[in-house]
Amino acid sequence: MVLGFKRFVGLCVLCWSVLAQAEQAPLVFGVLNQQSPAKTAERWNPILRYLAQNTGLAMQLRMGATVQETDTMMGRGEFDLLFSNHNFRPEYDGVYRVLARWAGPPIYGVIAVNHEAPFKLLKELTGVRVAFPSKEAFAAYAVPMAALKEAGVGVVPIFAGSQEGALVQLQTKQVAAAAVNSRFLTQYAATRGLLYRELFVSAGYADLPILVHSRVSKEQVDKLRKVLLSMHRDPIGLAILEGAACPGFVPASEGDYDDQRRIYRKGG
């Protein structure tokens, strides 16, 4: 069964669902706009299909046309599950709770330049165009912007709409630098041949969590957590994760994200 967006026909590729029971309404899974809709669907639909098949819970992928729209949908409670860390902003905090997180090392906020660029120090970026995904991004805006302010460096921010968009602008030399998170930077560079240098790397933060809305029942939460955390141990699940360039999912708690809450509350 394919469900299209009500207002964004162009994003209908995202609207996939598996109905485990004909009468069951799907759990809506939102994803932060880090990539294009097509790449988001390519990465997440196989994971959601696996979750549906192994929990008996119907799943549907959905996101807004922009980061801001996805955040607005989150604020209205339209997602049952969500892959994002924007919920830790003060205006959203408390409705969703941490279910698990993307496995692997911490993520870092990075300001990168093309490898042949003349810039060697952060202060040399004064007055230049720097690409950010959006003002709502944590590791790719709040953290690097705080570092720029601390260094007394004023830049011309260009909002590319996604991490992928910011790096495309860097690679095509539309901007002098780009701020992104470290995981996305290394994945993009490996697949798209970007050669870069890092001018700034932040402290480490827990990678993005999978969140669950407070209305989802404990029984459903327990099923979802069990399948997510064991997915990498199943040969079928592992193959799906590898295809999505995902290391799997590990346990996480609300306290793992207190440092991100503090950055947001400082107005970063």
Listed residues 190, 205, 220: the one ending a domain: 205
Identify whether residues 118 and 198 lie together within a single domain.
Answer: yes
* Cα 110 to Cα 184: distance, rounded to the nearest angstrom: 10
Tens-place pLDDT, residues 5-30: 333 333 434 444 444 343 579 999 99
What CATH number is given to the structural domain containing 253? 3.40.190.10
- The reply to whether 39 falls in a domain is yes
* Cα 41 to Cα 25: distance, rounded to the nearest angstrom: 20
The tokens describing 156, both together, are: 């011309």
Tens-place pLDDT, residues 54-76: 999 999 999 999 999 999 999 99
Identify whether residues 82 and 135 lie together within a single domain.
Answer: no
Instruction: Tell whether the torsion through CA atoms of 73, 213, 10 and 33 is positive or negative.
Output: positive
Identify whether residues 144 and 219 lie together within a single domain.
Answer: no
Tens-place pLDDT, residues 120-179: 999 999 999 999 999 999 999 999 999 999 999 999 999 999 999 999 999 999 999 999
Total domains present in the chain:
2
Tens-place pLDDT, residues 90-119: 999 989 999 999 999 999 999 999 999 999
- The reply to whether 148 falls in a domain is yes
Identify whether residues 155 and 183 lie together within a single domain.
Answer: yes
Identify whether residues 96 and 228 lie together within a single domain.
Answer: yes
Q: Is 238 helix (H, G, I), strand (E, B) or coil?
A: helix
- The reply to whether 24 falls in a domain is yes
Per the model's pLDDT, the better-predicted residue between 17 and 230 turns out to be: 230
Listed residues 205, 225, 243: the one ending a domain: 205
Identify whether residues 176 and 124 lie together within a single domain.
Answer: yes
- The reply to whether 144 falls in a domain is yes
* Cα 69 to Cα 253: distance, rounded to the nearest angstrom: 26
The tokens describing 166, both together, are: 């910011």
The tokens describing 134, both together, are: 């959006």
- The reply to whether 93 falls in a domain is yes
Q: At what angle do helices 163-171 and 182-192 cross, to 10 degrees?
A: 50
- The reply to whether 3 falls in a domain is no
Confidence of residue 3 (pLDDT cuts 50, 70, 90): very low
Identify whether residues 235 and 177 lie together within a single domain.
Answer: no
* Burial group, residue 267, by CB count within 10 angstroms (0-12, 13-18, 19+): exposed
Identify whether residues 99 and 125 lie together within a single domain.
Answer: no
- The predicted pLDDT at position 24 comes to 75
* Cα 135 to Cα 152: distance, rounded to the nearest angstrom: 19
* Cα 107 to Cα 203: distance, rounded to the nearest angstrom: 8
The tokens describing 111, both together, are: 């300001």
- The reply to whether 66 falls in a domain is yes
Sheet with strand 59-62: strands edge to edge: 17-18, 59-62, 27-31, 81-83, 209-213, 96-102, 249-250
- Give φ, ψ of 250 to 5 degrees: -130, 165
Identify whether residues 90 and 74 lie together within a single domain.
Answer: yes
Confidence of residue 267 (pLDDT cuts 50, 70, 90): low
- The predicted pLDDT at position 7 comes to 39
| Residues β-bridged to residue 196 | 114
Print the domain residue range for 197: 107-205
| Residues β-bridged to residue 200 | 111
- The reply to whether 186 falls in a domain is yes
Q: Which residue has the tokens 């509350």?
A: 265
- The predicted pLDDT at position 48 comes to 98
Identify whether residues 31 and 163 lie together within a single domain.
Answer: no
Identify whether residues 129 and 197 lie together within a single domain.
Answer: yes
- The predicted pLDDT at position 23 comes to 55
DSSP string, 31-98: E-SSS-HHHHHHHHHHHHHHHHHHH---EEEE--SSHHHHHHHHHTT--SEEE-SGGGSTTTTTSEEE
Listed residues 174, 205, 236: the one ending a domain: 205
* Cα 16 to Cα 167: distance, rounded to the nearest angstrom: 28
Identify whether residues 15 and 84 lie together within a single domain.
Answer: yes
